[in-house]
Amino acid sequence: MILLSVGTQFPFDRLVRLVDDWAFAQGRTDVMAQVGPSKLHVRAVKPFGLVSPSEFRDLQASAQVTISHAGMGSILTALECGKPIIVMPRDHQRGEHRNDHQVATARKLEHTPGVYVAWDDAQLLDYLGRLHELAGATGASAKAPEAFTLQLKSFIRTG
Amino acid sequence: MRERQLPQAPAVRPRRVLLVASAGGHWIQLCRLSPAVEDEDALYVTTLDGARTPSGERPVAVVRDASRSDPLSFVQLIAQLVGIFARFRPEVVITTGAAPGLMALMLGRILGARTVWIDSVANCERLSLSGRLAKGWASLRLTQWPEVAENTPQLDYYGSVL
């Protein structure tokens, strides 16, 4: 199963259309899609409604790969599950988000193992064409580095 | 003969810590910081039903999400938060954002709690709007990017949750 996720806040029809066209052309019927508040008509991907955070996590854990906007939720969950994630940042110029912070996030994370940033349509299709080559992060943890949590703990205790 | 009492280690009283984050990335970042409160009396707050804390056994309260486009949502959110504060009386409020976290931070500050704003790791070039608004309300304000901390006053860097 492949999971497509664009979050719940805004539509991201450019990404949904690309993945849907690809899935249709490939005859793939195993793409689950969280398409957000979108009115786009899809042919191959299977949209689903709002699911709870833990259900979403379970979906991502069982997916072979997640294709997503550059939202931290999907990216962090993919890293924690050790699953690869293809990330296409929302483009502010095209009205896909309020600002360009997803582009900045993608730039910062593009060398993180397990994260595959698609900067344009062609790159996305290239990743989709070689899904079996994409690998997830190894040795991932669901906890922040100890240096961070220890400092926070000491702040809590020294009040 | 009377038994000698062993000298007791100074009792470390658990602190009441309220942890607030909107569902999604903010929530996951907050959960990654959960080791910081493993010895505390922690209450988590988020905006969607069905969220589990990492240990799975900490209580999670749900409040409605609020956004700038819907002013009434803030009134409802603040009413819910006031209820939570009245019951739990947090000594420390920690949030990773977004709007509901900022509201909890402000309320905490007014009610005498120590408050921590942790800006999302997604904001790698400048602080979020909420993070900028948190200035003056947060006892401790953190960014997850050293270069952002460098040129902003009253902003600290403890590392990144990644």
Contact residues, chain B, for A36 at CB < 8 Å: none
The CA distance from B63 to the nearest CA of chain A, in Å, is 14
Residue B53's pLDDT is what?
Answer: 85
What pLDDT digit, counting tens, does each position of A121-141 carry? 999 999 999 999 999 998 888
CATH number of the domain bearing residue B145: 3.40.50.2000
Residue B6's pLDDT is what?
Answer: 63
Tokens at residue A15, please?
A: 């990404």
Contact residues, chain B, for A142 at CB < 8 Å: 31-32, 54
The interface pTM score, or ipTM, of the predicted complex is: 0.91
Cα angle at B84 between A7 and A71, to 5 degrees? 15
Binned at pLDDT 50, 70 and 90, residue B46 comes out as: very high
Q: Does B92 touch chain A (CB under 8 A)?
A: yes
Average pLDDT estimate for A45-56: 90
Q: Are B61 and B43 in contact, with CB atoms under 8 Å apart?
A: yes
Binned at pLDDT 50, 70 and 90, residue A62 comes out as: very high
Residue A43's pLDDT is what?
Answer: 97
How many domains does one find in chain B? 1
Q: Does B33 touch chain A (CB under 8 A)?
A: yes
Whose structure tokens read 């996951």? Answer: B28
Closest by alpha carbon to A149, among A7, A70, A141?
A141
Fold of A2-157: Rossmann fold (3.40.50)
Identify the burial level of B33 via C-beta atoms within 10 angstroms of its C-beta, where 0-12 means exposed, 13-18 middle and 19 or more buried. Answer: buried
**Residue B8, domain member (yes or no):** no
Binned at pLDDT 50, 70 and 90, residue A8 comes out as: confident
Q: Is the pLDDT assigned to residue A87 strictly greater than 80?
A: yes
Tokens at residue A146, please?
A: 């100890």
* Side-chain half-sphere CA neighbours of A104 within 13 A: 16
Closest by alpha carbon to A144, among B143, B28, B24, B145?
B28
Q: Which of A99-113, B6-20, B48-62 has the lowest mean pLDDT?
A: B6-20
What is the domain range of residue B115?
16-157
Scanning every residue of chain B, which has its alpha carbon at the shortest distance from the alpha carbon of A104?
Answer: B124
Binned at pLDDT 50, 70 and 90, residue B133 comes out as: very high
Whether A53 and B140 lie within 8 Å, measured CB to CB? no
Per-domain residue ranges for chain A? 2-157
**Residue B5, domain member (yes or no):** no
CA–CA dist B91, B139 (Å, integer): 12
